[in-house]
A and B are shown apart, each in its own frame.
Chain A
Amino acid sequence: MASIRNSKSILAVLLLFLLTACVQPAMPQAETAPPAQAATEAATDLAGIKAYLLEKATALRESTATLRALGDEYYTLAEQASFDYEAFWANDPEGIQKLVFDARATWMVASPLYEQMEGIVAGTPSLAEFDVILDAGGELEDPENAAPYVTLPDGTVLRRPGNLFGVLESTLWGTFPEFTVPDLQPDYDGNGTVDFGEILPHGGVLKSAADTMDSYANELFVAAEAWTPTESDAFTALVVMVPTMSEYFGSWRDSRFVTGEESTQADFVVISRLADIQDILGGLEIVYSELQPLVATVDDVQSTQIATDLGELKTFVTDVYAQENDGKRFTPEEADLLGIEAQNRATAITGQISQVAAQLNITVQE
């Protein structure tokens, strides 16, 4: 009997030891997911974000492949004319014009496709580099915002000429003279005067920029395929990109769409920045719609409020864009006022999203 009691005691002590041994030591800020995050990781299905991104990335690379082919063809013709652009133009003005116009039309398809996913690409740290390269990188030696080098077929290196959409826009519409053929202004519409956009692109720049953009568009697709969105990624995309309204309205205010011929801005000359903002917000609405069920676990009313506010911000931009399309020309001060209002709304939305992320213990990445 005594031995049984002893055995039981030993067993109890052993069990106690085993239990004690299984308990993790109380490390400060141990590297385990915070409870709220761990609990929600499996519950939140973010597949819709990736599907949306892949759909846009696929369409983008189709467009950039077309643009690459057009750039190659244009360059080959120029090369055949020994880069004598007078002869190049004189040989086949209609064919050259068609090439230039086709390239412009393709650019105008590609650009909105990118804007529709920019909110996700630029707002996700692991993908953000593609935004700098394709759409946001600055000109010249701006190390914080560096666009890639572009190497021309003759070996000339354009050191950080700007983001690739911007380089191609400047090349195709002639807002940066160095990217066009000097002293040659084709009268595309035959009205006898030189109008905006009546230029010939520099063959080397057009080919190389289109080639480079196509390469990066393909890389972006591969990176998007490999990416598995996390809750942290989705919250980060919203918190990073929603409050960029003032940047976009600022570039709209300074663009040809507001200041007309006085504008010195080389980018955003053919598609109003308002259209870009709409597209970006559309992508961010997709991101939020995937997160909304998770946000509702913290505060159902707030989850709806954020969705409503995001929708109203987009509607606000859509209304302004509709007025612009109807022929209204906003003054710079009006554009400024509209930008402040959009930024105020965006800041309020971002604040709400940040509070929810914090309450869910989800990290918003730097």
Chain B
Amino acid sequence: MCKRLSALCLLVLLLCPTGVSAQATAELPAQAAEALRAALFQAQFQITSDQAGALAQVEQAATTYRAAWSAPLGQSVPGAHARIEQGFVAATSAVQAQDAPALAVARARVWTALLDGAQQLVLQAVAAGDTATAQRWLAVREFRHATRFSRPNADGSIALVHLRDGTLTIDETLTALRADLLDTYQARLTEALHDLATADEQSFAARLAEQAALSQGYFTILLPAYEEQRGQAAGATASVAFAALTAATQTGQPPEAALAQVTAALDGFRAAPLSPQEQRRRAGQLLRFLSLVPVEYSRGIRNGVVAADLEIREAITFRSGAEAAFRDLENLLTARDPAQTATASTLLGQLDQYLTAASQHSEVADPATVEAASDQLLATLQAVMPTEWLQGDRSADFDVIAAALDQMEDAARAGEYELAESARLEAYAILESGPEAKLAAFAPQRVTPIEDLFWYGQGEPQGLAYLIGQKADDGVIAVSRKALSEQLAEAQRLVSGNVAPGAIMSNAALIVFREGLEAVLILASLLASLRVGERRHLRRPLWVGLAWPCSPLY
């Protein structure tokens, strides 16, 4: 009995503390981080008006950190822990000296070291298979700054959910988390550098220093990825450039020179590698956009002069889109063939020169020349790209459709309805030549609304072909375009699944079987109802009726 009781107690002891501690600490890291950040902000706000109050805020921030974070960070991420403690010392000194830029730098160092520590704790917990701990620490993170038009992604959170459910492996989860966090902090680094320039223009000294220190802190988080791609020496050089930028802003020196070095160090760097799907998508965009450049250009030139500026602008838009996609893939392409990639880059620049000159009416290249340059570029890229990129990605089609519809709206807004119609047709042609077949197979109910909105639908809102034909107000066209975009977004979601041919066949076979079975059951019930004597004579016509559609005469 006693042994049983002891075993039971042991079991309770083993189980309960885990649950209780998880519950008790579940809210701690994120809340403590917010409290710490808010206290340091208050210190910054009070530094000149209430020095004692500012010192108390720094002390409070340090106390909050030591209570909630010091132990786990000190044990598992000592580098980040040391940077945070140094930051508190620097913050105290800055308040004592009433040096607002120095306090701004200290705040940024504490905060970014905290983010670095949290992300490393998350990755360590995932590697150990401890999803609950990872979820708790993942709450201490930043997001890309959301706007009315962009949303923070949730890839990391979803990956953890899938790890917990067993639908992702630890390695897959780590990859998703790294991609999400690295992408976020690179975006924040870019924003910090942008805001730094704005603060410099406005002569906001503390904000200038804070943004420089934030960018330095974000770069520290990205440094392992940077060194992995460019080597430790390059990493050290870049780190020095960031440190110089912070020092310049803190001491009131012009930041331009240091900023130029930082910008050069970051040129072409992408911390979060593109997923294979994103690589295919970018490749699809690159090839599609490039193929449209000579088409638009030739429409804009008549007898050696620019006859339609809008077409030239469209060509420029497509080239710019192609360049953006190329830059995203450049590192990967260079790794495969540096010489060919350099050639592609040069050819892209050459196309830019042709188009820019035409847009300025300074020099008009022959459309055949532009086409030849585009063809050479396409051939070069296709030679370098891996086979899987060339197999096409339907999502790139949707990007091009969106770009063409943008041009349609621009043209309608300018009152150029013929051009608007041309752009509409171009968008429709891409839909018809690509995704529509897949859409018809997997979501046929989506086809009609899209067709109606592209053409002459008379529902609400009306079709674009009809509206353009009527020279409708651009606001009305915009409403239809918006509705079409929503339908297309849903269509893209529906056709984006990677479906094996076998699955398509089995789906089709199952549908045929199901419909056939329904027919058999209906027939059986009809025949059963004709078993009664006086109705038996009606069975023959029924069999004849059944046989007729199956006969060669049908």
Contacts and interface: CB of A to CB of B under 8 A. Distances in A.
Interface in A333-353: 333-334, 336-338, 340-341, 343-345, 347-348, 350-352
Interface residues of B, number: 55
B143 A21 contact: no
B202 A354 contact: no
B147 A359 contact: no
B493 A29 contact: yes
B154 A358 contact: yes
Given A21-B514, A21-B518, A28-B494, A332 B202 contact: yes
A309 interface: yes
Nearest to A334: B45
A239 B207 contact: no
Nearest to A308: B31
B27 interface: yes
A305 B204 contact: no
A29 B142 contact: no
A31 interface: yes
A305 B157 contact: no
A249 B510 CA distance: 59
B13 interface: no
Contacts of B151: 239, 354, 364
A327 interface: no
A336 B204 contact: yes
Contact of A352 (B45, B139, B202): B139
B143 A26 contact: no
A230 B475 CA distance: 27
Nearest to A363: B493
Nearest to B520: A17
Contact of B202 (A336, A344, A355): A336
A215 to B, nearest CB: 16
Contacts of A27: 442-443, 507
Interface string B18-31: 00000000110011
A239 B493 contact: no
A351 B142 CA distance: 8
B448 to A, nearest CB: 14
Interface string B131-152: 0000000010111011111011
A337 B139 contact: no
Contacts, number: 120
Contacts of B34: 309, 345, 348
Interface string A8-28: 000000000110110101111
Contacts of A240: 148
B507 A301 contact: no
Interface in B488-506: 489, 493-499, 503, 506
Contact of B31 (A17, A305, A334): A305
Interface in B23-75: 26-27, 30-31, 34, 37-38, 41, 44-45
B497 A28 contact: yes
B161 interface: yes
B158 A359 contact: yes
A66 interface: no
B517 A21 contact: yes
A343 B41 CA distance: 13
A146 interface: yes
A211 to B, nearest CB: 19
Contacts of B30: 305
Contacts of A26: 503, 506-507
B5 to A, nearest CB: 34
A18 B506 CA distance: 17
B419 to A, nearest CB: 16
A161 to B, nearest CB: 15
B206 interface: yes
Nearest to B154: A358
Interface in A15-60: 17-18, 20-21, 23, 25-29, 31
Nearest to A361: B158
B513 interface: yes
Contacts of B37: 344
A243 B147 contact: yes
Contact of B445 (A31, A239, A309, A340): A31
A243 B506 CA distance: 47
Contacts of B510: 20, 23, 25
B112 to A, nearest CB: 13
Nearest to B198: A336
B494 A29 contact: yes
B413 interface: yes
Contacts of B517: 17-18, 21
Nearest to B497: A28
- Name the residue in B38, B157, B161 with the highest tally of chain A Cβ atoms < 10 Å from its Cβ: B157
B511 A25 contact: yes
Contacts of A359: 154, 157-158, 161
A325 B134 CA distance: 45
B31 A354 contact: no
B323 to A, nearest CB: 23
Contacts of A337: 41, 44-45, 206-207
A106 B152 CA distance: 39
Nearest to B518: A21
Interface string B180-206: 000000000000000000000010101
Interface in B102-146: 139, 141-143, 145-146
Contacts of A351: 141-143, 146, 152
A357 interface: yes
Given A143-B474, A336-B202, A358-B158, A244 B148 contact: yes
Contacts of B27: 301, 305
B43 to A, nearest CB: 12
A350 B143 contact: yes
26 contacts: A20-B513, A20-B514, A21-B513, A23-B510, A25-B510, A27-B443, A27-B507, A28-B442, A28-B495, A28-B496, A122-B148, A143-B409, A146-B475, A239-B151, A240-B148, A243-B146, A243-B148, A301-B27, A332-B202, A334-B45, A338-B45, A340-B207, A341-B38, A344-B37, A359-B157, A366-B489
Given A27-B443, A301-B27, 15 more contacts: A20-B510, A21-B518, A28-B442, A122-B148, A143-B478, A244-B148, A301-B26, A305-B27, A333-B202, A333-B206, A336-B204, A345-B34, A347-B145, A350-B146, A354-B151
Q: Top 4 A-B pairs ranked by shortest CB distance?
A: A28-B497, A358-B154, A351-B143, A243-B146
Interface of A: 17-18, 20-21, 23, 25-29, 31, 122, 143, 146, 239-244, 301-302, 305, 309, 332-334, 336-338, 340-341, 343-345, 347-348, 350-352, 354-355, 357-359, 364, 366
